[in-house]
Amino acid sequence: MSFPFSGSRSSKTFKPKKNIPEGTHQYELMKHAAATLGSGNLRLAVMLPEGEDLNEWVAVNTVDFFNQINMLYGTITEFCTEDSCSIMSAGPKYEYHWADGHTVKKPIKCSAPKYIDYLMTWVQDQLDDETLFPSKIGVPFPKNFQSIAKTILKRLFRVYAHIYHQHFSEVVQLGEEAHLNTSFKHFIFFVQEFSLIERRELAPLQELIDKLTAKEQR
């Protein structure tokens, strides 16, 4: 699918795609995920394939969601500026302050483009860390992998929340709403399947989540 990128888009926020190396088991898993997604049944597509390792499945999908959100945000960066989005919010009730627990220990208030840049850089650093996201067969995942993945997914959700609340009209103008909705629905079914994000974190988009998931349950 082609994306109408603007020349004024900040390449700083748009992170390079994270590729899973060919020939690895994770690459095969990714191909399986893509094939199942093609069937159109998202509930089935997120289920752990028989005999597979849960950590590996969560890792492959986390990389995929990072790439998807990266792409989606890349289409609207020209509308998400220091002036238009001076705070990182998801509607009037929800505001996010940035902290990564290492270099920024005390949460700081910042604009949405700055927050999302910090967030995507922080996620990318973890995805590239072989001790956290091993790509080689036989290299074990860290014991706290699930909690690492949960934090990443919780924060990636905030980018969806910001796009839906602050930029949905621009997404519609670009003709990207079906792509955004499918990506978000896939993300929600995945985090629900493995209880990866607490319900209270999903509050900014709960109404939309109920609507998207109700259709699938009929």
Annotated binding site: 80, 85, 162, 167
**Is residue 2 within 8 Å of 74, Cβ to Cβ?**
no
Q: Are residues 132 and 126 in contact, defined by beta-carbon separation less than 8 angstroms? A: yes
CB distance 125 to 15 below 8 Å: no
Nearest Cα to 204, choosing from 156, 172, 160, 152? 160
Say if residues 13 and 113 touch (Cβ distance below 8 Å).
yes
Phi-psi region of 91 (alpha: psi -120 to 50; beta: other; left: phi over 0): left
Instruction: Compute the residue count for the chain.
Output: 218
- d(CA 2, CA 4) in angstroms, rounded, equals 7
DSSP-based three-state secondary structure for 175? coil
At residue 103, the 3 state secondary structure works out as coil
Extended beta strands in the chain, E state:
none
Could you list the residues known to form a binding site for Zn(2+), using ranges. 80, 85, 162, 167
Residue 143, amino acid = K
